[in-house]
Structure 1
Amino acid sequence: MPSIKEFQVTFDCAQPERVARFWCEVLGYVVPPPPEGFATWDEFHRSLPREDQGAWFACVDPSGVGPRLYFQRVPEGKVAKNRLHLDVRVGTGLVGEERLAVLEAECARLVALGAVRVRLMPADDENESCIAMQDVEGNEFCLD
């Protein structure tokens, strides 16, 4: 059986473009060029039937290494904890106060973008410190 070479992470959300642009800022991702024949994504979305306008948005890793992130509009709101979340690895290899300083600095940057800090999970015998957060629509993620 061949191994899977590529995957996409899909987010259900109310405002796909807003959430996608937040994650572009978090991860250094970019919005890919619009489809051929369209100067902008707005122009492309306006060409769709009204009910499909703004129904999805995507962003990609400019290096081509990370997965594509796809955001699709769904009618229902978020009602429970995510069963899957992203860990944003900003403190890899750091420990103690040095790790906390990096996590706190990144947390402050993301809060300014609209994220919500949930709580600090301090280091224990098995894990280093991390910060639980929520994106602009309440999806959980961790600064790790």
Structure 2
Amino acid sequence: MASVKQVQVTFDCADPERVARFWCEVLGYVPPAPPEGFDTWDDFNSTLPPEERGAWFVASDPTGAGPRMYFQRVPEGKVVKNRVHLDVRVGTGLVGEERVAVLEAECARLVALGATRVQLLVADDKNESCLAMQDVEGNEFCLD
């Protein structure tokens, strides 16, 4: 029997700190404290060679239950649909209009943080409603 392993979710992006801080707000995660000896991440980054400044950032679940999220700068921009995406489970156990109302309320909160609303996918015979969105750099995710 295989043992359970921890999972880290890694995002390729242009601005790791911006995207990480967005996801901290979405999920209630926290950014790491600056490295020892530095008051801020800007202070730390200023000691690095220019090409390494802001090259990565992390978001972590303060309870330790969820996966660590790692954001790394890559030179190329996003050009196609994600092959993997996150489902943010805000409507678990809800159905119908009550579920859609919760999805729409969370969507409004995230749009105010810089997300983009894509499309409400209405319930059918197999699936309950969910809301497709994009984060601050266009990475797809769903409110489920």
Q: TM-score, normalised by structure 2?
A: 0.96
Q: CA RMSD in A?
A: 1.1
1:118-140 residue CA offsets vs partner (Å, 9 max, x unmatched): 10000011110000000000000
Deviation of residue 23 (structure 1)? 0.4
Structure 1 alignment gaps of length 5 or more: none
Q: How many residues matched?
A: 144
CA distance in 1 between counterparts of 2:86 and 2:34 reads 26
CA offsets per residue over residues 74-99 of structure 1, 9 Å max, x none?
A: 01000000000000000000001110
Partner of 1:59: 59
Aligned to 1:127: 127
- What secondary structure does 2:132 align onto? strand
Runs of 4+ aligned structure 1 residues displaced above 4 Å come to none
Q: Which amino acid aligns with 2:96?
A: G
Deviations 1:28-56 (A, max 9, x none): 00011122222221111111111100111
Sequence identity percentage? 79
Aligned equivalents of 1:66, 1:47: Cα separation in 2: 31
> Residue 2 of structure 1: CA displacement?
5.2
Aligned to 2:15: 15
Could you say which residue in structure 2 is the equivalent of 1:100? 100
TM-score of the aligned structures, taking structure 1 as reference length: 0.96
Looking at structure 2, the residues matched to 2 and 101 of structure 1 have their Cα atoms a distance apart, in angstroms, of 40
User: Residue 80 of structure 1 corresponds to which residue in structure 2?
Assistant: 80
Q: Distance in 1 between matches of 2:111 and 2:54?
A: 25
Distance in 2 separating the partners of 1:4 and 1:138: 31
Moved more, 41-50 or 131-140: 41-50
